[in-house]
Amino acid sequence: MSTDSFLLKSAESRAMSANKVLKNTYLLLSATLGFSAFTALLSVALAMPSWTYLAAVIISMILGVFVLPKTANSAAGVGVIFVITGLLGFGLGAILTQYLALPNGGETIGLAFGGTAAIFLGLSGYALTSKRDFSFMGGFLFAGMMVVMIAAIANIFLHLPLLSLVISSAIILLMSGFILMDTGRIARGEETNYIMATYGIYLSIFNIFISLLQILGIMGSDD
């Protein structure tokens, strides 16, 4: 009985810890998404040039790789992730400015936003309710990202709309896989740092939104 009691308490403790990480992750995710929306609107209002997006992505990547992991276990990590997501939102604003200048640009942005929300909510809901282990997808997702990166670099020189469509579609599939894997890790108590969990899910949402914008933009340009 003592062993069973110990195992039961241990399981309850893991469940409580997982729920706490999940709660903190979604609270921080909501806050960072809201802050990104604010900085994006600011960027649109300032009519920032297109190169702002690339600069913001590069700086945020440097912070995400070299700074955030070192601060993720302290209060400073919260500040760093707000800087990262604020930068990405500000860069995104430069892209949104270009879309808003196009016919039906506002509608395209709205559809991309709605599609992103639907994908995220659907995948997160499934991962949380099923609590399946999606770690088997890790190797496939990594290999897929390598292929997509090579294709994206090649398309810088090729400028093929069809290849751009394929790349954007592949990114959506890959980011969807990351959302399943990251959310599943939280649900099973394998992810204990809500700051890093927020960072991973935020990047997936961000990339899905950008990719949907590109797909809708390419499809709309055929009209």
Quote the pLDDT of residue 14.
65
Q: Is residue 7 predicted with pLDDT exceeding 50?
A: no
Cβ-proximal residues to 48 (8 Å cutoff; 6+ apart), any chain: 90, 93, 94, 97
Find out whether 120 and 179 touch, Cβ atoms under 8 Å: yes
Q: Global pTM?
A: 0.93
Q: What is the C-alpha to C-alpha distance for residues 205 and 183, in angstroms, rounded to an integer? A: 12
- pLDDT tens readout for residues 33-78: 999 999 999 999 999 999 999 999 999 999 999 999 999 999 999 9
Q: What is the C-alpha to C-alpha distance for residues 155 and 180, in angstroms, rounded to an integer? A: 28
Q: Is residue 17 predicted with pLDDT exceeding 90?
A: no
Quote the pLDDT of residue 54.
95
Residue 43 in domain? no
Q: What is the C-alpha to C-alpha distance for residues 143 and 174, in angstroms, rounded to an integer? A: 10
Whole-number Cα distances in Å, 59 to 152, 189, 201: 20, 31, 19
Residue 179 in domain? yes
Q: Which domain holds residue 204?
A: 2-35+101-220
Find out whether 168 and 109 touch, Cβ atoms under 8 Å: no
Instruction: State the Cα angle at 208 between 202 and 159, rounded to 5°.
Output: 130
Residue 200 in domain? yes
Total count of domains within the chain? 1
Residue 187 in domain? yes
Q: Is residue 113 predicted with pLDDT exceeding 70?
A: yes
The band of 6, judged by pLDDT with boundaries at 50, 70 and 90, is very low
Q: Is residue 9 predicted with pLDDT exceeding 60?
A: no
Torsion of CA 205, 182, 174, 150, to 10 degrees: 100
Residue 21 in domain? yes
Other beta carbons within 10 Å of 115:
18
Q: Is residue 1 predicted with pLDDT exceeding 60?
A: no
Percentage of the chain exceeding pLDDT 90 = 83
Residue 83 in domain? no
CB under 8 Å, gap of 24 or more: what pairs does 152-159 form? none
Find out whether 7 and 182 touch, Cβ atoms under 8 Å: no
Mean pLDDT of the chain, nearest integer: 92
- pLDDT tens readout for residues 209-223: 999 999 998 887 654
Quote the pLDDT of residue 74.
94
Q: What is the C-alpha to C-alpha distance for residues 181 and 200, in angstroms, rounded to an integer? A: 10
Residue 92 in domain? no
Q: Is residue 23 predicted with pLDDT exceeding 90?
A: yes
Residue 50 in domain? no
